Amino acid sequence: MLENPDISVIITTYNRANFIDRAIKSILNQIYQDFEIIIVDDGSTDNTEEIIKGYKDKRIIYIKHKKNQGISAARNTGIKKSRGEYIAFLDSDDEWVPEKLSKQVKILQNESTEVGVVYSNLCYIDENGKDMNKLLNPKREGYIYKDLLGENCVGPPSTLLIRKECFNQVGLFDSQQDAHEDWDMWIRIAKSYKFVLIKIPLVKYRLHSNQISKNLEVKIIAADNILEKYANELKNTRSIHSKHYFCIGNRYCHLGNTKVGQRYLVKAILLYPLRIRYYICLLGSLFGAKCFLGFVNIKKYLTGILKNLLLKLKTQ
């Protein structure tokens, strides 16, 4: 165990025995080696513990919750235990490329304390770790509080390296949020700190069937919580406020509850009537859930054709 590691890497896991080994190895294979690894097992019932305890590296600290408490509580346990100047999160189904920490820590060490976060692009991999040739390329950096009020323009926790002082300033993750807890944290940090973006993929983000982020019902509740929590700030920005209503309404329609979805879509239009897609989604919802989903699929198909056409034109 290092007495004063530069970086505390926090892995939160729950029944991820099939992925946790790859996540740990991707940390141990980092070019930058001055870190501790705090693995918070949120009450796993599979053989996750057995795999973790197979590692004899003294930098690995294993903590297990007796009962599942949720992702926010697990991350908070890791933050409280951490001793590093910087904190990195790695979800146990994701992986890092070897230069991830070295590139990020160099920036934080050389920048003023106005910069609280360094994050990066990511690439998507499938359940077996195969590259899906798809990237997430964020655009925002600097003081991005207003951008984050509208959407999570930063992305998942696995891409970030954060000064620990940020958590001393803004507090821990909201354990009442079952989704979008990371988005909520980035908003709070962005009130006081700058974000720096490294525009290359340093994280492999795994897409698979068993992901909380795919649960629309949970995401709707979490989005409503975000809407309520930042109501005062959103009242001053009608265009951003309307995006929240549209997002919730769109999700309700995807779940088949078009009547509730329509109420949110109408609120979005009343707040900001200049976005055509609000009207398009509302129109599609009027014909019922099946027609709405068919309408969405047609839209995706046409959008794909348009993107491929534009890509061909650029390469000519």
Enclosing H/E stretch for 145: helix 145-150
Q: Say whether both 64 and 157 belong to one domain.
A: yes
CA separation for the pair 88, 206 (Å, rounded): 18
Mean pLDDT over 283-301 rounds to 83
Judge if 22 and 163 occupy the same domain: yes
Same-domain pairing of 64 and 190: yes
Position 302 confidence tier, pLDDT thresholds 50, 70, 90: confident
- Give residue 273's domain range: 237-315
User: So what's the pLDDT on residue 315?
Assistant: 63
Q: Residue 263's pLDDT band (boundaries 50, 70, 90)?
A: very high
The string of pLDDT tens digits covering residues 200-211 is: 999 999 998 766
pLDDT band at 291 (very low <50, low <70, confident <90, very high): confident
Model pLDDT for residues 105-141, shown as the tens digit of each residue: 999 999 999 999 999 999 999 999 999 999 999 999 9
Q: Are residues 33 and 182 in the same domain?
A: yes
Greater model confidence, 165 or 236: 165
Q: What is the mean pLDDT of residues 239-252?
A: 96
146-162 residue pLDDT tens = 999 999 999 999 999 99
Give bridge partners of residue 162 from the DSSP assignment. 87, 117
Would you state the pLDDT for residue 204? 98
pLDDT band at 3 (very low <50, low <70, confident <90, very high): confident
Both tokens of 276, joined, read: 């055509």
Question: What is the rounded distance in angstroms from the CA atom of residue 236 to the CA atom of residue 247?
Answer: 19
The reply to whether 178 and 50 lie within a common domain is: yes
* pLDDT at 306 (0 to 100): 74
Torsion of CA 76, 80, 85, 89, to 10 degrees: -30
Confidence of residue 289 (pLDDT cuts 50, 70, 90): confident
Of 212, 229, 249, which marks where a domain is finished?
Answer: 212
CATH of the domain at 95: 3.90.550.10
Both 251 and 187 in a single domain? no
Are residues 170 and 262 located together in one domain of the fold? no
Mean pLDDT of 25-46: 98
208 assigned to some structural domain: yes
Residues 126 and 245 in one domain: no
pLDDT at 1: 61
pTM here is: 0.90
Residues 281-302, mean pLDDT to the nearest whole number: 83
Residues 171 and 269 in one domain: no
Same-domain pairing of 113 and 249 = no
Q: Is residue 267 part of a domain?
A: yes
Q: Are 253 and 285 in contact (CB under 8 A)?
A: yes
- In the predicted model, is pLDDT for residue 182 greater than 60? yes
- Rounded to 5°, angle at Cα 2 from 55 and 162: 95
Do the domain assignments include residue 250? yes
pLDDT confidence band for 316 (50 / 70 / 90): low
298 phi, psi to nearest 5 deg: -65, -40
In a domain, 124, yes or no: yes
Length of the chain counted residue by residue: 316
Q: Are residues 243 and 202 in the same domain?
A: no
Rounded distance between C-alpha atoms, residue 184 and residue 182, angstroms: 5
For residue 226, being part of any structural domain is answered with no
The pLDDT score that the predictor gives to residue 2 is 65
Q: Do the domain assignments include residue 231?
A: no
Percent of the chain with pLDDT over 70: 95
- Same domain flag for 170 and 253: no
Question: In this structure, is residue 175 part of a structural domain?
Answer: yes
Q: Give me the pLDDT at residue 27, please.
A: 98
Give the pLDDT confidence of 188-232 residue by residue, as tens digits: 999 999 999 999 999 999 998 766 556 889 999 999 999 999 999
Task: Indicate whether 104 belongs to any domain.
Answer: yes
How many distinct structural domains can be found in the chain?
A: 2
Alpha-carbon Rg for the chain, nearest whole angstrom, is 21
